[in-house]
Amino acid sequence: MKNQSSIITNAKKTILAESNAIANLANFINIDFENAVKYIYNFKGRVIVTGIGKSANIATKIVATFNSTGTPAIFMHAADAIHGDLGNVLEDDVVICISKSGNTPEIKVLVPLIKNYGNKIIAITGNIDSFLGKNADFTLNTYVEKEACPNNLAPTTSTTAQLVMGDALAVCLLELKGFTSKDFAKYHPGGALGKRLYLRVSDLIEKNDLPQVSENDTIAKVIVEISEKRLGVTAVVKDKKVIGIITDGDIRRMLSKTTKIDDFVAKDIMGKNPKTIHKDAMAVEALDTMENNSITQILAVDDANNYVGVVHLHDLIKEGIF
């Protein structure tokens, strides 16, 4: 068994080999790449991404990236394509073929069939002089000198290069389309990333109670309000407007100095001019305000600056935003 030192050395060699190969891809970005991007941007159909073996695995990820950034795409396995799945390819579609060698039997059969249909082919290949490279309408070079595999056999560096070239296409298309964070959120509504882009303060406060007291309420009432609403805080409100805030920390600090709570009312211990946030603000804005001010709750207000709720840090944690 190899010792720890050799394992770490091999890991670093792998990472450096792949990173150097990826950096070299920048030298292969040429007019074919530009024209491929422009063609995809201007056509009305979908992007069909195909490959075989490990290239097929990379194709599925590229499809996912295209779909999530506003470029409709589907995956078609190269072997299945020549046994019926060519029916997936419609008249206005463009086909991206991924193959390191560009000379696999399935690709040699598939490419002429696609061209007979009149569809354009974008090749992502490590061999631009291959059958695929010479017969594609646009050829994107993903040549790597060698695989990270010590036997130069297992697809490692070459598949990483394919993946990066696909990402480069997707990002260029994203920028051409003016794809925004709001567009991104439409395609990612279920995950934490999507929530950061669409979840608003109003979505959080509707799940919480509305703790509030008046400025002349007793400390006993303040304690009951904080305890019952279970948010660790209460707003001090006058004519629906926030004039102060009392946290459970404020109560503890007061009790550490005196136990004569009957001598005080809410306005005596409240924090004045508390931080507030509009109910239509993004939840992530509430998080930023909390972090910047070292607080765990923030009061929400509406257009008329009326008090409408509380956002607690726990709400953001529960939604996966923090």
Which H or E run contains 276?
Answer: strand 276-278
CA dist 255 and 51 (Å) reads 70
Cβ count within 10 A of residue 49: 29
Structure tokens at 110: 């598939």
DSSP 242: E
pLDDT of residue 318: 86
pLDDT of residue 163: 97
pLDDT of residue 189: 59
Residue closest to 40 by CA, chosen among 50, 51, 49, 27: 49
pLDDT of residue 153: 82
Residues 6+ apart with CB under 8 A from 37: 169, 172, 173, 176
Q: What residue ranges define each of the domains in the chain, with the CATH number in brackets?
A: 4-179 (3.40.50.10490), 198-318 (3.10.580.10)
pLDDT of residue 198: 75
Structure tokens at 302: 């509406």
H-helix segments, the chain: 4-25, 31-42, 54-68, 78-81, 105-116, 131-135, 157-177, 181-187, 192-198, 201-205, 219-229, 248-257, 266-269, 283-293, 313-318
CA dist 160 and 312 (Å) reads 42
pLDDT of residue 145: 92
Answer whether 147's CB lies under 8 Å from 54's CB.
no
Q: What is the pTM of this model?
A: 0.67
> What is the DSSP pairing of strand 121-125 with strand 276-278?
unpaired
Q: How far is CA 184 from CA 68, 187, 197, 198, 199, in A?
A: 7, 5, 8, 10, 13
The three-class DSSP label of residue 71 is coil
Per-residue pLDDT of the chain (322 residues; tens, 9 = 90+): 557 678 999 999 999 999 999 999 999 999 999 999 999 999 889 999 999 999 999 999 999 999 988 899 999 999 999 888 898 899 999 999 999 999 999 999 999 999 999 999 999 999 999 999 999 999 999 999 999 888 888 889 999 999 999 999 999 999 999 887 666 666 665 665 666 667 899 999 998 999 999 999 999 999 999 999 999 999 999 999 999 999 999 999 999 988 888 889 999 999 998 999 999 999 989 999 999 999 999 999 999 999 999 999 999 888 887 6
CA dist 235 and 213 (Å) reads 6
CA dist 315 and 205 (Å) reads 9
To the question of whether residue 312 is assigned a binding role by annotation, the answer is no
Cβ count within 10 A of residue 91: 9
Structure tokens at 1: 């068994």
Question: What is the sign, positive or negative, of the torsion defined by CA atoms of 122, 128, 130, 131?
Answer: positive
pLDDT of residue 192: 59
CA dist 51 and 111 (Å) reads 11
CA dist 99 and 154 (Å) reads 14
pLDDT of residue 185: 64
